[in-house]
Structure 1
Amino acid sequence: MLWLLLLQVLASCLWLGHSEVVTSFESCPQFFYEETTPHEALTPQNAAWICQRYNNQYHFATLYDRNRRIPVYSAYIYEAACDEVTTPESWWFVEPQLITLFPKMKRESIILEQHLFTLEQIKESQAVVEDYSNLIGLVRGHLNPSGHHRSDDSKLATFTLTNIVPQDSSVNKGAWKKYEMATMAEKSKGCRTTYVITGAVPGNDYVAGGRVNKPSHIWSAACCVMGEEYMKAWAVIAENDKNEAQDLTLGELEERLTKFYGGQDITLFHDDCPRE
């Protein structure tokens, strides 16, 4: 019992003394082509820059909206499509770093069992397992899917609720899955490195009693490095209530996002990535 008390005291001290997270991706710039991040117009009012860390290694990067409790985007390096991973309902990770200076994702159930933080403390800045437990017509939609990674650690790292949005079940299992598993594999042939940024446009509806935003659209863009001087890029967008995914050029997606985000010119990748 003494060690539990000491852990609670330590967590409380960290909670009071350090309530901020980093304000850039300086610890994980490798997930962005030429270390160039998307335009700041995508940054929400109460943002968190998360270098997603599991087993002492960074696996991808996420810009997270703490007010809407959904990711704005996740950035990663695509690997040849592999089998997806499924996890039990209670297995999902949350991010203690949204509460205090603790850089590693941790399972929500373990945090609560070890009395590191209360559920109320976790819920203040992010979605929790119960927020996704009674969805109707919606599922947990990965922005960075486990099937785009080869190693077990990278696959498991995608199962953090900071990489998840409420996604229409029909598009998740239909057009979007086809894009993730078939279209990406086809388009990335010949690529030496494929940088991917997948995001969600905030919508007007909420789930979980108003806690978690339901995005109006899900989008993804890729910048493929094929050689020293040859590159290609592509993009896709889907409305979050229709089983359809529209193929776009990178430039077309950026134009679409510019309209969604109030007219500020949005760029997702370094200028070297072709827009047409």
Structure 2
Amino acid sequence: MKHLVFLLLPLFTLSEVVDDFSKCNQFFFNFKPPIFTPANGNKVQHICQCLWNDKKEPIFLYATLYSTTWKIPVYSAYVFGSPNIGRCDAWYIEPQLDGKTKPNCMQPKGYVRTIGTNQALKSDYEDSGFDKGHLYPVLHTNNHLSMLATSTLTNAAPQDPDFNQGSWLQHERAVIKDLQSCDKAYVVTGVVPDLDHEKIYDKITVSKYYWRATYCQKGNQLDVLKGYYGPDNNGKVQQITIEELEEWLKKLKEPITIKIFPTRKRQRE
């Protein structure tokens, strides 16, 4: 797979809360984001996750649709990269989710009293019994900037530690092997909220399921699409077609109506 290489210049981190994904639509197949229909009063925000270099030029790295109702992301979309170069868990929050006039740079903590009204903070996970589960995982990044940008709380949801460090981690590693031979691969990873579970500190919605959709392009061959979700009844990750994934999401107790790759035409799943 061909990859872009970024120079490691002095950087300021930021995520831009926007009205749509037009500034970062390169992370979606055919530049078209999933068609998502919010339900039950769920309020969402579009976030173009990016970094600024020392010239104050934005480098967009992925996109996130964030639920300020659930205080967790609905999905993150990215272009797959491998191999990963390491990990640094310096967790950030997004001030603009709690006020458009606030700084648009990711901040290391919610030091302002009003920060945290519409989003999770690092302190919300302390002694919760849940991991901060990445949607765009560090393992699927191939440069320093993308790696750093994944560790924002707008890209994470409360995840069962056994599943996060077990079946889901094995799945993320299997996806690497599956997509490494693609010329380009688009990935959308999302969560399903567990509305029957008591919220963490009466604030953060726990994720019941994680799901992932991959779109592999390889030369003149047919595009290859695959869907995944977990945990199943045995705690495993199941592989299904994109159509099956969309139908499964629609039939849940908290229905998620989404067309993940709305412009897909031909496929081999």
TM range (shorter): 0.7 to 0.9
Indicate which of 107, 111, 115 corresponds to 1:122: 115
Q: Deviations over 1:133-181 (max 9, x none)?
A: 1122x21100001121111111000000000000011110111001112
Identity %: 31
What's 1:272 paired with? 265
Identify unmatched segments of 5+ residues in structure 2: 1-15, 53-57
Q: Deviations over 1:106-149 (max 9, x none)?
A: 2333x63xxxxx1x31111110111011122x211000011211
Report how far residue 260 of structure 1 moved: 2.5
What's 1:6 paired with? none
What's 2:12 paired with? none
Give the RMSD, CA atoms, in angstroms. 2.4
Q: TM-score, normalised by structure 2?
A: 0.83
What's 1:175 paired with? 167
Does residue 184 (structure 1) correspond to residue 183 (structure 2)? The answer is no
Q: Following the alignment from structure 1 to structure 2, what is the Cα–Cα distance between the partners of residues 240 and 232?
A: 24
Residues 175, 245 of structure 1: 8 Å contact kept? yes
Structure whose CA Rg is larger: 1
1:112-261 alignment runs, 5 A limit: 112=111, 118=112, 120-136=113-129, 138-181=130-173, 183-204=174-195, 205-228=197-220, 230-239=222-231, 243-260=235-252
Residues 60, 74 of structure 1: 8 Å contact kept? yes
Relative to structure 1, the CA distance from residue 26 to residue 240 in structure 2 (aligned partners, 3 Å threshold; closer, same or farther) is: farther
Q: TM-score, normalised by structure 1?
A: 0.81
AA partner of residue 37 (structure 2): A
Does residue 100 (structure 1) correspond to residue 93 (structure 2)? The answer is no
Report how far residue 210 of structure 1 moved: 1.4
Q: Following the alignment from structure 2 to structure 1, what is the Cα–Cα distance between the partners of residues 71 and 154?
A: 8
What's 1:79 paired with? 81
What's 2:51 paired with? 54
Identify unmatched segments of 5+ residues in structure 1: 1-19, 113-117
SS in 1 for 2:194: coil
Report how far residue 265 of structure 1 moved: 5.8
Residues 48, 63 of structure 1: 8 Å contact kept? yes
Q: Following the alignment from structure 1 to structure 2, what is the Cα–Cα distance between the partners of residues 232 and 151?
A: 25
Relative to structure 1, the CA distance from residue 148 to residue 263 in structure 2 (aligned partners, 3 Å threshold; closer, same or farther) is: closer
Q: Deviations over 1:191-229 (max 9, x none)?
A: 111000000011112443111001121000101111245
Q: How many equivalent pairs are there?
A: 245
